[in-house]
Chain A
Amino acid sequence: SAVISQKPSRDICQRGTSLTIQCQVDSQVTMMFWYRQQPGQSLTLIATANQGSEATYESGFVIDKFPISRPNLTFSTLTVSNMSPEDSSIYLCSVVTSGSITDTQYFGPGTRLTVL
């Protein structure tokens, strides 16, 4: 299993500013992902965080808006840049530990972001 912590747990930000969210895992993991959950909605994959290289973004998400770093096998950051109220969401880090197709995907508790 994997225990995931995220910082901050919540924040209220002004439009036009940026926020960096941290994801820390208690063990080395194969894959790390970032998801967004808009209010009352389901989860949508933003990107796959690749260790030592640029993240792989899903359609509708771009690096300039959501820069991601993954310096090692246990840590990743997601930055929400130039925020607007539409960015108000829960941002969740997710990991897969071993890469087996039957491996469980674990989720962090999320970071609840409100943009005013």
Chain B
Amino acid sequence: GQQLNQSPQSMFIQEGEDVSMNCTSSSIFNTWLWYKQDPGEGPVLLIALYKAGELTSNGRLTAQFGITRKDSFLNISASIPSDVGIYFCAVTGGTSYGKLTFGQGTILTVHP
């Protein structure tokens, strides 16, 4: 089946630092999504990317849809304690619209 390789698995950073995480796939996808999951909650959509090469920002978050349509990255600038959580990339596309395939997740810890 479809597989996404997300890295790093975990990150421990100081408040104020920038963070970068990425996802790669051997298959082409039409949509790349980035979600954040807080403890005890369901994932919440951060950024959606629909076009190869697209660069989209949401506050301190920036994500890009790779030109090959096989990868994406998410950057968080000037991290704050509430950025703590698990970040997932996800894809959907073609006939599988609405059915998401998730990466393994990146656990982010921010030290004040």
CB distance from A115 to the nearest CB of B (A): 19
B103, A42: Cβ atoms closer than 8 Å: yes
Interface string of B80-112 (1 = CB under 8 A from A): 000000001000000001111111110000000
Q: Which of A72-105 contact B (CB under 8 A)?
A: 92, 94, 96, 101-102, 104-105
A101, B97: Cβ atoms closer than 8 Å: yes
- Asked if A31 meets B98 with Cβ closer than 8 Å, knowing A42-B104, A110-B42, the reply is yes
Question: Which candidate, B43-51, B55-63, B66-74, is the interface stretch facing chain A?
Answer: B43-51
B45, A104: Cβ atoms closer than 8 Å: yes
Q: Tell me the count of chain A residues lying within 8 A, CB to CB, of chain B.
A: 25
In this assembly, does B31 line the interface, its C-beta being within 8 Å of a C-beta of chain A? yes
Q: Tell me the count of chain B residues lying within 8 A, CB to CB, of chain A.
A: 23
A42, B31: Cβ atoms closer than 8 Å: no
B48, A45: Cβ atoms closer than 8 Å: no
- Interface of A, secondary structure class, is strand
Q: Which chain A positions have C-beta within 8 A of B33?
A: 105
Q: Which chain B positions have C-beta within 8 A of A102?
A: 48, 50
CB closest residue in chain A, given B4: A42
In this assembly, does A66 line the interface, its C-beta being within 8 Å of a C-beta of chain B? no
Interface string of A38-81 (1 = CB under 8 A from B): 00011111001000000000110000000000000000000000
Residues of chain B having any CB pair with chain A under 8 Å: 1, 30-31, 33, 35, 40-45, 48, 50, 88, 97-105
Residues of chain A having any CB pair with chain B under 8 Å: 4, 31, 33, 35, 41-45, 48, 58-59, 92, 94, 96, 101-102, 104-110, 112
